[in-house]
Amino acid sequence: MPNSEQETDALRRKVEDCLQGIASGSEDDLRTLYSLLGGRVYGYLRNMLHNESDATEVQQEVFTEVWEKADRFTQARGSGISWIFAIARNRGIDRIRKTGRTQENLERFQDEASDRDVEPSAEAAPRDETVKNEDRQRLDECLGRLAPDSREAIRLAFFAGLPHREIGKKLGQPLGTIKARIRRGLLSLRDSLHKEGGLHE
């Protein structure tokens, strides 16, 4: 049975394999990377920004930047996980400056971000692949039941990692419409998943 260090090393290898695929234009690898680190990136940003909406939007910006710059990643600079969380930290700082928060808050963010261990612990290692595949299949089935406009908006936001404004431009719809579609779709998705027994913890 693999130990904690082996599990963490396995995650790092998976992340870096995904980055190589993304650098070659693989959307499948982007989706896999999001399933591996999306929740951790959101949690990191939520703790730093203290705002769920900001954390969600910045998370999407992070994965958009990963998609655009994966070819620049090199192991000489550290692990792929550290590289991604460095992007998250920088985008978080940008958001604080953009929203006009005080210098004191910015300094607190920088201190917390530098002190926080962003490498996942052994306890946060990926779950058994069979369980994850079952969850993905259940999620895909529930997504397939959504209204087409909500399904497309959710896929672009949470699988392609696009910011809401970029989704609006792509679909030719105003920002408010995109946010409403995502919210409506997430509520329907939650209800559908609940009826299916939810996802594994």
Q: For residue range 22-53, what is the model confidence (pLDDT) as tens digits?
A: 999 888 899 999 999 988 898 888 888 888 88
Which ranges of 50-79 does DSSP label H, i.e. alpha helix?
Answer: 52-69
Q: CATH number for 129-195: choose from 1.10.10.10, 3.40.50.620, 3.40.50.150, 3.90.105.10.
A: 1.10.10.10
* DSSP state for residue 70 in the 8-state scheme: G
Going by C-beta distance under 8 Å and a sequence separation of 6 or more, which residues neighbour residue 37? 15, 81, 84
**Encoding tokens for residue 50?**
């203290």
* Fold (topology level) of 4-124: Rna Polymerase Sigma Factor; Chain: A (1.10.1740)
Span 69-124, pLDDT tens digits: 999 998 777 899 999 999 999 998 888 888 765 444 455 554 544 444 444 443 44
**Encoding tokens for residue 49?**
């920004």
Compute the C-alpha angle 174/66/175, nearest 5°. 5
Q: Which range is least confidently modeled, 36-40, 129-133, 179-183? A: 129-133
- How far is the C-alpha of 87 from the C-alpha of 113, rounded, in Å? 12
- How far is the C-alpha of 72 from the C-alpha of 51, rounded, in Å? 30
Span 145-163, pLDDT tens digits: 888 898 888 888 776 667 8
- How far is the C-alpha of 174 from the C-alpha of 134, rounded, in Å? 35
- How far is the C-alpha of 51 from the C-alpha of 137, rounded, in Å? 31
The model's pTM is 0.55
* pLDDT confidence band for 133 (50 / 70 / 90): low
For residues 166 and 4, the model is more confident at 166
Map out the domains of the chain as residue ranges: 4-124, 129-195
pLDDT at 5: 62
